[in-house]
């Protein structure tokens, strides 16, 4: 419980570094030890009577800082393999959060030629740089250009008297129409001329640079670090077709692609072209088939949709016709009913009118007969011309009835 209640200890960065520095305890730090490696001069910094140089491993990039007294340093030669005695010290670098391991030299035991020459070390470094940068895929790059139908420049560097250009062209066969090959004849034994040509071709925008020569010996020129170093820095893709199976040179090791013979390089170009064309044709056929299937499916879908629409329209039309016939029938029946009602009403009114007319006619007849009777009586009683008077009255009555009836 007491441990849980204790306040945490707060350290500074410098305190942490010194804490770890003091905790490192090795028996090698407590006595003189002997080291062997390649001596590398430092920048000439001189502190407290000593120089700060380095000792590099003979077969790797590992190195350790040396603190070398001035008298001993005068006997040591740059880039020589040395054997020295000294004791290990540590230095805390606060601003970098690290602990440097150093060796303070006490004695120069031996100094000999390096196990590996500076040129050999340089070769290793160039290969390591190329491996870190990565090898570019030449075949995929060429295939992409073929698919895009985009010609590109291939600069082939050959010897002045070489005839291998015919070997390369012969292997190209039908693909020769696509590739743009330019042959540059130089002295392949001259390091300076090779580097100069690589520079020129790269500056001219050449896409692929090929260094090619036929069989034979004297391949040491292609092991020159300067040529290999230049080759690794090219923007162009680098291909070698040097023509030697057993001895693999440094230039071949750093090339993006290497062939044993120029003919093999030509065959590679032809095979790559034919293979790419075949793949493109197959891809196009597959694409056409896929599009065909898709269009057929879409066409059938559209046909089905149209059929459904036509069916729906026909059903709607049928329903509309039925509705129209029903409405028409209802209207006809209504009109027929109205006509029948009107006919009956008319006939009824006509009958009633005829009956009324008959009744009026009967009344009129009765009145006429009554007037005739009265007239007859008057004729018998008076000598006045009552006949004319009666006739005038009767005519007046008849005219009045006719006007009333109308």
**Ordered alpha helix ranges (H), 204-246:** 225-232
- State the Cα–Cα distance between residues 108 and 72, nearest whole angstrom: 7
Report whether 399 contacts 392 (CB < 8 A): no
Q: What is the rounded average pLDDT of the residues 98-107?
A: 86
Q: What is the DSSP string of 370-393?
A: HHHHHHHHHHHH--S-HHHHHHHH
209, containing H or E segment: strand 208-212
Pairing of strands 153-159, 208-212: parallel
Which of 141-150, 317-326, 350-359 has the lowest average pLDDT? 350-359
Report whether 79 contacts 72 (CB < 8 A): no
pLDDT tens-digit profile of 273-295? 999 988 888 876 666 666 666 77
User: In the numeric block, which tokens belong to residue 38?
Assistant: 């390649």
Contacts of 375 (CB under 8 A, 6+ apart): 386, 387, 390
- The DSSP symbol for 158 reads E
- pLDDT for 22: 63
Count of beta carbons in the 10 Å neighbourhood of residue 68: 27
User: In the numeric block, which tokens belong to residue 55?
Assistant: 């000792």
User: In the numeric block, which tokens belong to residue 299?
Assistant: 């066409």
Count of beta carbons in the 10 Å neighbourhood of residue 193: 14
- pLDDT for 1: 46
User: 216 to each of 160, 187, 284, how far by Cα in Å?
Assistant: 15, 15, 46
Question: Maximum CA pair distance of the chain?
Answer: 204
Map out the domains of the chain with their CATH numbers: 11-116 (2.40.50.140), 128-273 (3.40.50.280), 354-405 (no CATH)
Percent of the chain with pLDDT over 90: 27
Q: How far apart are the first and last CA of the chain?
A: 137
Of 153, 248, 167, the closest CA to residue 207 belongs to 153
Of 204, 194, 262, the closest CA to residue 224 belongs to 194
- State the Cα–Cα distance between residues 375 and 390, nearest whole angstrom: 7
* pLDDT higher than threshold 70 for residue 319: yes
- pLDDT for 140: 94
- State the Cα–Cα distance between residues 398 and 406, nearest whole angstrom: 12
Q: What is the DSSP string of 282-335?
A: HHHHHHHHHHHHHHHHHHHHHHHHHHHHHHHHHHHHHHHHHHHHHHHHHHHHHH
pLDDT tens-digit profile of 18-63? 666 666 666 656 678 888 988 988 887 788 888 999 998 887 778 8
pTM, to two decimals: 0.51
The chain-wide mean pLDDT, for the chain, equals: 81
SS3 letters for 16-71?
HHHHHHHHCCCHHHHCCEEEEEEEECCCCCEECCEEEEEEECCCCCCEEEEEEEHH
User: 116 to each of 37, 129, 330, how far by Cα in Å?
Assistant: 11, 19, 118
- State the Cα–Cα distance between residues 184 and 175, nearest whole angstrom: 21
- State the Cα–Cα distance between residues 116 and 122, nearest whole angstrom: 10
- pLDDT for 233: 92
User: In the numeric block, which tokens belong to residue 218?
Assistant: 């004297």
| Residue 23 C-alpha from the chain's centroid | 56
Give long-range contacts, CB 8 A cutoff, 24+ apart: 389-396: 394/368
* pLDDT higher than threshold 90 for residue 208: yes
Report whether 145 contacts 152 (CB < 8 A): yes
Count of beta carbons in the 10 Å neighbourhood of residue 185: 14
Report whether 65 contacts 96 (CB < 8 A): no
- pLDDT for 85: 92
Strands (E), 44-120: 46-47, 50-56, 63-69, 81-93, 98-112
* pLDDT higher than threshold 60 for residue 204: yes
Count of beta carbons in the 10 Å neighbourhood of residue 152: 18
- pLDDT for 283: 75
């Amino acid at each position: 419980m007491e441990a849980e209640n204790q306040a945490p200890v707060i350290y500074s960065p410098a305190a942490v570094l010194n804490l770890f520095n003091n905790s490192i305890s090795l028996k090698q730090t407590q006595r003189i030890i002997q080291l062997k490696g390649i001596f590398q001069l430092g920048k000439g910094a001189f502190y407290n009577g000593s120089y700060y140089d380095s000792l590099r491993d003979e077969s790797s990039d590992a190195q350790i800082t040396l603190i070398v007294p001035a008298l001993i340093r005068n006997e040591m030669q740059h880039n020589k393999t040395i054997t020295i005695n000294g004791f290990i010290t540590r230095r805390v670098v606060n601003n970098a959060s690290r602990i440097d391991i150093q060796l303070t030299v006490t004695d120069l035991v031996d100094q000999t030629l390096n196990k590996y020459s500076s040129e050999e070390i340089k070769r290793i470094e160039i290969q390591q740089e190329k491996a870190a940068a990565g090898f570019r895929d030449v075949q995929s790059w060429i295939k992409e250009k073929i698919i895009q139908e985009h010609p590109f420049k291939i600069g082939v560097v050959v010897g002045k008297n070489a005839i291998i250009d015919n070997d390369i062209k012969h292997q190209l066969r039908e693909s020769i129409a696509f590739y743009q090959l330019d042959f540059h004849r130089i002295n392949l034994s001259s390091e300076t001329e090779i580097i100069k040509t690589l520079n020129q071709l790269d500056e001219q925008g050449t896409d692929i640079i090929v260094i090619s020569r036929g069989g034979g010996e004297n391949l040491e020129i292609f092991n020159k670090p300067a040529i290999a170093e230049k080759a690794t820095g090219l923007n162009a893709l680098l291909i070698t077709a040097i023509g030697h199976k057993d001895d693999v040179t440094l230039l071949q090791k750093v090339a993006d692609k290497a062939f044993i013979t120029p003919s093999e390089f030509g065959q590679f170009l032809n095979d790559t072209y034919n293979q790419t064309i075949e793949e493109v044709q197959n891809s196009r056929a597959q694409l056409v088939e896929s599009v065909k299937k898709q269009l057929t499916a879409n066409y059938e879908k559209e046909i089905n949709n149209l059929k459904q629409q036509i069916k729906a329209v026909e059903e709607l039309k049928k329903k509309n016709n039925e509705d129209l016939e029903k409405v028409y029938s209802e209207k006809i029946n209504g009109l027929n009913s109205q006509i029948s009602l009107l006919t009956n009403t008319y006939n009824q009114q006509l009958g009633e009118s005829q009956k009324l007319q008959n009744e009026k006619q009967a009344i009129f007849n009765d009145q006429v007969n009554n007037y005739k009777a009265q007239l007859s009586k008057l004729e018998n009683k008076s000598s006045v011309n009552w006949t004319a008077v009666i006739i005038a009255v009767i005519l007046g009555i008849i005219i009045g009835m006719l006007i009333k009836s109308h």
